[in-house]
Amino acid sequence: MAGGLDNGGDDLAENHEINVTPFIDVMLVLLIIFMVAAPLSTVDVAVDLPVAQAKPQPRPDKPLYLTVKQDLSLALGNDDVPSAALAPMLDGATKGDRNQRIFLRADKTVPYGELMRVMNLLRAAGYLKVALVGLEQTPPATPPVGGEAAR
């Protein structure tokens, strides 16, 4: 006689595979959300930045100043320098030391593009250590307590 075991007949076999279709759907929705939200988070906002009150750094013994004058001419120290002769003049002033810091200062009427042109000349000459020079600003005086002005 042959016999068989009855396993209940109505039970479905267990499936141990992960259904990835809902997972892919959720990931695509998140991808679309981030693609839409990313450009919105990079909108330029007009901001009035405060003036920096940084502590002045100590001066070197012999700083080397490169000046962009109001008429867009250049001066190395106190001597006028044509743009084409800037690299040889810098090499002579620094004795070929390209790690020496160059202090770049410009008249406030000099256009930003001209200042960038001079910085590119410095970079082309091999001088990568450039410090921008500005006036030191003292913090504004605070009014006396109580709102009364000093007499």
Q: Is the pLDDT of residue 43 over 60?
A: no
- Mean pLDDT of the chain, nearest integer: 79
Range with the largest mean pLDDT of 2-6, 11-15, 18-22: 18-22
pLDDT of residue 134: 75
Question: What's the rounded mean pLDDT across residues 130-150?
Answer: 64
Using one digit for the tens of pLDDT, what is the confidence trace for 69-127?
888 889 888 888 998 898 999 989 888 888 888 888 888 888 889 989 999 999 999 99
Per DSSP, the residues of 59-122 read PPSS-EEEEE-TTS-EEETTEEE-GGGHHHHHHHHHTT-TTSPEEEEE-TTS-HHHHHHHHHHH
Task: Report how far residue 70's alpha carbon sits from residue 107's, in angstroms, rounded to the nearest whole number.
Answer: 5
User: Which residues are within 8 A (CB) of 65 and not within 5 positions of it... i.e. 6 or more apart?
Assistant: 75, 76, 77, 103, 104, 105, 133
Helix (H) or strand (E) run with residue 130 in it: strand 130-132
Task: Report how far residue 95's alpha carbon sits from residue 116's, in angstroms, rounded to the nearest whole number.
Answer: 25
